[in-house]
């Protein structure tokens, strides 16, 4: 299927690449279907920042990243009831845990939302965004300096 996007032009998305968020994403509850966009040469595991692109809304593309790249030991506490909506045998599932990134005009103010992770069961292509019960996770955790330090090999 061809998907129109504002930032990436027209892309081809196979049915197996469509992720379903039955409750939508926080703030974007009307859009239920997404796909991941990332550097194909690196793959999703090696890309620092990639995109959760809505299938039915060309302008809706959320930058996301693996939170462990900027917050060592990230382990959100989530309710079993919510995580079990992603399919059976969650303990054996391939789960992708990412967080949304805010990239403002001043890149120095870039943040990641550690409080509301997006969890995707890559086996069922079902996803959910939830609020982690961890009190110490911030909605706007600064990451610019961390990413620069990694880039510079520190």
Are 115 and 75 a contacting pair, CB within 8 Å? no
pTM: 0.90
Are 55 and 105 a contacting pair, CB within 8 Å? no
Per-residue buried b or exposed e for 103-128, using 16+ beta carbons within 10 Å of the residue's own CB: eeeeeeebbbbbbbbbbbbeebbbbb
The domain that holds 59 is classified in CATH as 2.30.290.10
> How many structural domains are present in the chain?
1
pLDDT of residue 54: 98
* Residue 3 parent element (H or E): strand 2-5
What would the pLDDT profile of 35-44 be if each residue is shown by its tens digit? 999 876 666 6
Strand partners, 12: 2
Alpha carbons 37 and 39: distance in angstroms, whole number = 7
Mean of pLDDT values over 66-91 = 90
Counting residues of the chain whose pLDDT is more than 90, the rounded percentage is: 76
pLDDT of residue 24: 95
Mean of pLDDT values over 127-131 = 96
- As given in the structure block, the two tokens for residue 121 are 């069961």
What would the pLDDT profile of 90-122 be if each residue is shown by its tens digit? 888 899 999 999 999 999 999 999 999 999 999
> What is the span of the domain harbouring residue 33?
2-152
């Amino acid at each position: 299927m061809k998907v129109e996007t504002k930032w990436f032009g027209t892309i081809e998305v196979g049915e197996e690449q469509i992720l379903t968020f039955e409750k939508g994403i926080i703030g974007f509850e009307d859009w239920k279907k997404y796909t991941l966009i990332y550097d194909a040469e690196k793959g999703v595991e090696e890309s620092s920042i990639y995109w959760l692109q809505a299938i039915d809304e060309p302008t809706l593309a959320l930058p996301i990243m693996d939170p462990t790249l900027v917050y060592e030991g990230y382990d959100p506490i989530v309710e079993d009831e919510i995580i079990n909506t992603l399919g059976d045998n969650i303990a054996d599932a391939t789960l992708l845990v990412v967080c949304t990134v805010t990239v403002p005009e001043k890149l120095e103010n870039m943040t990641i939302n550690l409080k509301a992770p997006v969890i995707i069961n890559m086996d069922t292509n079902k996803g959910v965004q939830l609020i982690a019960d961890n009190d110490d996770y911030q909605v706007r955790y600064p990451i610019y300096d961390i990413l620069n330090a990694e880039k510079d090999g520190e």
